[in-house]
Chain A
Amino acid sequence: TQLLEQSPQFLSIQEGENLTVYCNSSSVFSSLQWYRQEPGEGPVLLVTVVTGGEVKKLKRLTFQFGDARKDSSLHITAAQPGDTGLYLCAGKRANQAGTALIFGKGTTLSVSS
């Protein structure tokens, strides 16, 4: 059983299209972080969401944390080839001691021109 389910697993779109990636769980998280990972490199932090219902924007990327803090979404507007990569959500469960992050399996995005 995956604690953090990401969907879709793969996404291939044309430049200019919009897309949404989802990160869902049955557990409550004290925070969720979104990372982007290039092949052969480490995850690079994009954003952290903490408050239920919180929305954060990073240029063409919009991140939302669910009201119950069990899910999150990443929406990309007018995708560009430079957005291609693996998008990971990761979080710390609210009732979990320690600081270890639980990761989803990721969504591989491919944007073609």
Chain B
Amino acid sequence: AQSVTQPDARVTVSEGASLQLRCKYSSSVTPYLFWYVQYPRQGLQLLLKYYSGDPVVQGVNGFEAEFSKSNSSFHLRKASVHWSDSAVYFCAPGTQVVGQLTFGSGTRLQVYA
């Protein structure tokens, strides 16, 4: 079984709409969870992170994610998307080796006007 699953390869939403990008992780990884964003022809940028505490964590540019231990999920949300949010989003849980991440296959978000 895959250690992290992003079931939606591509999501298309209209500008101003709400957004949820899904991420599920397996018991083989740690509950230390990260979302990264990759804009075209760029490297990955850290969007937000969860180590412990409040299960809803805030990130940059209005993004937030909610950790659910019971559902083994860490879904990314945004209340109102902008065209500039068009990018590829990666969910990345920590592995059992401190410092190492394992990356999902990514979700490509397209926001249209």
Interaction A to B? no
